[in-house]
Amino acid sequence: MKKLNINKGWDFAPSLESTDHISIKKQYELFIDGKWVKPTSGKYFDTINPATEEKLASIAEANEKDVDKAVKAARKAYNEVWSKMPAKERAKYIYRIARLIQERAREFAVIETLDGGKAIRESRDIDVPLAAAHFFYYAGWADKLDYAFPNKKMQSLGVAGQIIPWNFPLLMAAWKIAPALATGNTVVLKPAETTSLTALKLAELIQDAGLPDGVVNIVTGAGATGAAIVNHPDVDKIAFTGSTSVGKIIQNAIAGTHKKATLELGGKAANIIFEDAALDQAVEGIINGIYFNQGHVCCAGSRLFVQESVYDLVIRKLKDRMDALVIGNPLDKNTDIGAINSKEQLDTINKYIKIGKEEGAAIYQPTCTVPKNGYWCKPTLFTGVSQSNRIVQEEIFGPVLAIQTFRTIAEVIEKANNTPYGLSAGVWTDKGSKLFNLTSQLKAGVIWGNTFNKFDPTSPFGGFKESGFGREGGLHGLKAYLKG
Amino acid sequence: MLDFSKSPSVDQVGILDRIDRITARSLKKDAKMHGLKMALGMIDLTTLEGADTDKKVIQLCNKAMHLHDAQPNLPTVAAVCVYPNFVKTAKTALKGSEINVASVATAFPSGQSSLEIKLLDVKIAVDNGAEEVDMVISRGKFHEGDYNFVFDEIAAIKEACGKSRLKVILETGELGSFDKVRQASDIAILAGADFIKTSTGKISPAATLPVTLVMLEAIKDYYYKTGIQVGMKPAGGISNAKLALQYLLLVKETLGADWLDKKWFRFGASSLANDVLMQIMKQQTGIYQSKDYFSKD
């Protein structure tokens, strides 16, 4: 059989997004009560560009005292301003934030790419527009809560402590802040320590929007800072997106307290391809499912199930498609796969690739080259694996796909559900009845039909089982910040 | 008897998503220049008007041979495409060049005629020296579900072509859905098409990137099965260089470098060449020249 020469001839010339228009300060303080405040410890940590390993800025490290200040500021703003403000006035501020994000979209996209390593195509076309869309969407709900929950007289909770991950820094901040503000809560938010910059730029933007002091506070730091938020007695609600292991620690910590929580944790999604699917488009869905954002996606389609009758064909098409992927400088407009977010994460991914090989699975990576500096992982797939393999069971959070075959619908449902996780799943078939049958039987919070990794502020997102609880987005996302 | 009623299904949303990825690509510097020159050499320079005359065809042939003589090392277009009654004229005018003469045939553009007339049409074109024949499929029969009729007709015309290469026009703008485009592509390929081609240029929409992707996927699957290469020709509505480059990227990422050759890929276009030329000069000099520096024939 002849092979297609997808990655030969006619290479792209560099096409770099300009960085002239952005401003990054040398040092960032904590954003508390509407002001930039030095950390009490006087400690700072570096944030680097994972594509070059060069330092971008120093970031303040918040300790318990700083977090306490932030919570007090949030409480004061809640009591004196935000909870008393007419809802339609609250909405105006949120709309303003949304519009300012749109105005500064290019700057946010470039900084997101510099700080996190994701391809500029994604930060420009997905992260930043979606972040603005979330603010727009929830701004619209702010004065319509009585219609969202008829005859309920829902009330805000108070101070929300929010801890977000490093895979979609600005977008996760938007997911957390927008519904909290719309429902009348105030916020203490901690971005992940490797990707603080866009949250801090968002703080600048929030200042420009004239949001009353203390309504949104942003404290930077690592796990200890997050723990200080979780354990603070005057926090009414914890919203966390991150790993399942940390989620369990949080749930333990808040057990027996009044704190409400939503946890959006890990995943190991099944992406299921039936023989009657539009296979070329399914292959595109496999690519979007696992190689989007270097696989740093909690809902990534990391377990692929292909019906045996089309297995060889799908694998061949998938390999051809992988050959067309461009890996390299995230600022290049043609880059499909950017840098791995951190050294630590790269080590984790490489550990799993090693485990996959040791387990006897067959590995495939396209013959592309990666830059010398920075953290890189080629798009990878493993075949010849089964549910018993660790690379099938555990979340890798990288561009690594594990492929299994199945014969019948019953078999694939059993295997797809045979995981402690239950965040998302994908089904590919040309037959509507089959699709609806599976969506009702798969134990996952989000199920995509003939597409994957599509996000929309109107759609609730969240997991079953050890992928967490509570929903973000849509009406459900409002409810998580209300009582009554 | 072959069953043409079942072709692989096509998902419209997925096709459009894939095209979004292609149009987000950015070609700069050497890569752009390489693409522009490739595009220029893959053009079937076309005139298919009721008002065509010998003199008009000769002027077009001159344009084909002398795209922009002020600039050395430019390729010529791949072919000149005319009605059968102008094949002889074009052959004479293009003598000594490497440019092929392509002729539309089979009661172009509607195809509403008998097989006898279509075969005669092809015979005249081939006897007069056309190296390439662009036929239209019988869309009416296709919509009636008489797929074997469509297949047999293509096969008969392929035979009549002899050594001339056959391009089969599906007229995708009349087929109604991507699934139908895929099905027509499969029929044409199995019946012996050397090229499959989107459009006559007489129906809107003519060529689009999504429809071309569907056809490229049919070519890919056939290649997987048989190892036989089939060419692709989008035609109509491709009038600027940027769009032409997106088509070439689509080909590269779907079928690979082997198809980036005039033997396997063509643009059917009348005004594309000048925009490509203008972009080539812009790449070289850094400034856009007036349109009047490029000859219009």
- Interface touch A451/B34, C-beta < 8 Å: no
- Interface touch B34/A10, C-beta < 8 Å: yes
Which residues of chain A neighbour B29 with C-beta distances below 8 Å?
Answer: 13
Query: What is the per-residue pLDDT across B169-214, written as a single tens digit (0 to 9) for each?
Result: 999 999 999 999 999 999 999 999 999 999 999 999 999 999 999 9
Is the predicted pLDDT of residue B126 greater than 80, yes or no? yes
Which residues of chain A neighbour B253 with C-beta distances below 8 Å?
Answer: 6, 324
Query: What is the per-residue pLDDT across A471-481, written as a single tens digit (0 to 9) for each?
Result: 999 999 999 99
How many whole angstroms separate alpha carbon A194 and alpha carbon A275?
Answer: 42
Of B88, B167, B233, B252, the active-site residue reads B233
Place of tokens 């519904």: A179
Among partner residues B13, B220, B253, which is closest to A324 by beta-carbon distance? Answer: B253
How many whole angstroms separate alpha carbon A49 and alpha carbon A56?
Answer: 6
Amino acid letter, residue B216: L
- Interface touch B8/A10, C-beta < 8 Å: no
* Substitution target from B6, B7, B10, B28 for chain A, most A beta carbons within 10 A: B28
Query: What is the per-residue pLDDT across A203-229, written as a single tens digit (0 to 9) for each?
Result: 999 999 999 999 999 999 999 999 999
Closest chain B residue to A12, measured at CA: B31
Place of tokens 């039987």: A441
Q: Binning pLDDT at 50, 70 and 90, where does residue A16 land?
A: very high
CB pairs A-B closer than 8 Å:
95
Is the predicted pLDDT of residue B2 greater than 90, yes or no? no
Residue A383's DSSP bridge partners are A362
Among partner residues B9, B29, B253, which is closest to A430 by beta-carbon distance? Answer: B9
Task: Walk me through the domains of chain A, giving residue ranges and CATH numbers.
Answer: 27-265+465-483 (3.40.605.10), 270-449 (3.40.309.10)
R_g over Cα of chain B: 18
SS3 call for A28:
strand
* pLDDT number for residue B1: 67
Closest chain B residue to A428, measured at CA: B11
SS3 call for A34:
coil
Beta carbons within 8 Å of A22's beta carbon, 6+ residues apart:
A107, A110, A111, A114
- Interface touch A278/B224, C-beta < 8 Å: no
Pairing type for strands A270-273 and A303-307 reads parallel
Is the predicted pLDDT of residue A374 greater than 90, yes or no? yes
Q: Torsions phi, psi of A315, nearest 5? A: -65, -40
B12-293 classified as CATH 3.40.50.620: no
Among partner residues B11, B256, B257, which is closest to A278 by beta-carbon distance? Answer: B11
Domain segments of chain B as ranges: 12-293
- Interface touch B253/A6, C-beta < 8 Å: yes
Query: What is the per-residue pLDDT across B234-283, written as a single tens digit (0 to 9) for each?
Result: 999 999 999 999 999 999 999 999 999 999 999 999 899 999 999 999 99
CB burial of B188-199 (b: ≥16 within 10 Å; e: otherwise) equals: bbbbbbbbbbbb
Among partner residues B14, B223, B260, which is closest to A9 by beta-carbon distance? Answer: B260
Query: What is the per-residue pLDDT across A42-81, written as a single tens digit (0 to 9) for each?
Result: 999 999 999 999 999 999 999 999 999 999 999 999 999 9
How many whole angstroms separate alpha carbon A42 and alpha carbon A44?
Answer: 7
Which residues of chain B neighbour A454 with C-beta distances below 8 Å?
Answer: none
- Interface touch B31/A280, C-beta < 8 Å: no
Closest chain B residue to A454, measured at CA: B17
Q: Binning pLDDT at 50, 70 and 90, where does residue A8 land?
A: confident
Which residues of chain B neighbour A285 with C-beta distances below 8 Å?
Answer: 14
Is the predicted pLDDT of residue A1 greater than 90, yes or no? no
Among partner residues A2, A13, A288, which is closest to B31 by beta-carbon distance? Answer: A13
| Other C-beta atoms lying within 10 Å of the C-beta of residue A272 | 28
- Interface touch B252/A6, C-beta < 8 Å: yes
The pTM for the full model equals 0.96
Of B134, B186, B194, B275, the active-site residue reads B134
Whether the CB of A277 is below 8 Å from some CB of chain B: the reply is yes
Distance (Å) of CA B13 to CA A215, A273, B178? 41, 16, 11
State the average pLDDT for chain A.
97
- Interface touch A451/B14, C-beta < 8 Å: yes
Is the predicted pLDDT of residue B49 greater than 90, yes or no? yes
Is the predicted pLDDT of residue A327 greater than 70, yes or no? yes
Residue A260's DSSP bridge partners are A237
By the 8 A CB rule, do B263 and B277 touch? no
The alpha carbon of residue B253 is apart from the nearest alpha carbon of chain A, in Å, by 6
- Has B233 been annotated as catalytic? yes
